[in-house]
Amino acid sequence: MNLYVESTGSGPAVVLLHGVAGSSRTYSWLELEGRTTVRFDFRGHGASDRAAGTYLIQDYADDAISVLESAGPAVLAGHSLGGVVAWSVAQQRPELVRGLFLEDPPLFMGAPEEHALNPAVPAFELMRENTARWQADGATPAQIAAELTAQVLPDGRTMEEFQTDEARAARGYSLAHLDLEVLDRVIDGTLLAATDTASPVAAPTFILAADDAAGAAFPSSHEARLAVTHPAVEVVRLPGATHTIHDERAFRDEYVRRLSSRV
């Protein structure tokens, strides 16, 4: 499996793990002073190899472990799928993980009853439809980003007001290069089905969660469940923040401040 990996800076390693249908470009703007910042694309994403039939949580954990075996012990900072991958790696290979910074991770969304009620599934179905069209038409990343920019949120905000320019450009690139089977595994509920929410996680763990009312993938009800089995996990919930905290103009500075204080 050939994975696209890039590393900048020097010092203790921080490995950044993107969300499903994203890529390492979602972190292209992020540099952490005094740290080696490692970005990579999961299989089926960005510039990494496609691998039909291997788009489940353990497959992505294997990708992260292979990067860590080269980068050395690191803090893992993961968004969404990347957060669940980081959690899984910390359970399986604790010697490779110095700490976890998880951005709105859908830790419990793999359970069948949670998947059945997940309000994000229709959005992923629409994403698959649009991405198939863009790829069939040969749309460029810039053209995809322009179509995304033209969208208006339910609250009336434009995408330009909501997201950073880098975020929309990164999304255009990611969708142009995505293996559509990745989205099939999200939609059919198999992607996260094997997530282990019970086994211990020894690494210090911090979760930056979205607002329940804004579609959190780690809602307060899941926070309460996690507190029973993993009471040492620290959770901070940001009022008004959506699932893509690091992409939002209103919350990017807060995201960087929180991450920098824990790496």
Q: Which domains does the chain carry?
A: 5-260 (3.40.50.1820)
Helices 165-177 and 141-149: angle between axes, nearest 10 degrees = 130
pLDDT of residue 155: 85
Cβ proximity of 46 and 4 under 8 Å = yes
Give the alpha-carbon dihedral of 6, 171, 242, 159, to 10 degrees.
140
pLDDT in tens, 187-229: 999 999 999 999 999 999 999 999 999 999 999 999 999 999 9
Mean pLDDT of the chain: 97
> Is 154's pLDDT higher than 90?
no
> Is 7's pLDDT higher than 90?
yes
- Cα dist from 243 to 64, 79, 85, 251, whole Å: 22, 9, 16, 11
The model carries a pTM of: 0.97
pLDDT in tens, 12-35: 999 999 999 999 999 999 999 999
Three-state DSSP state, 8: strand
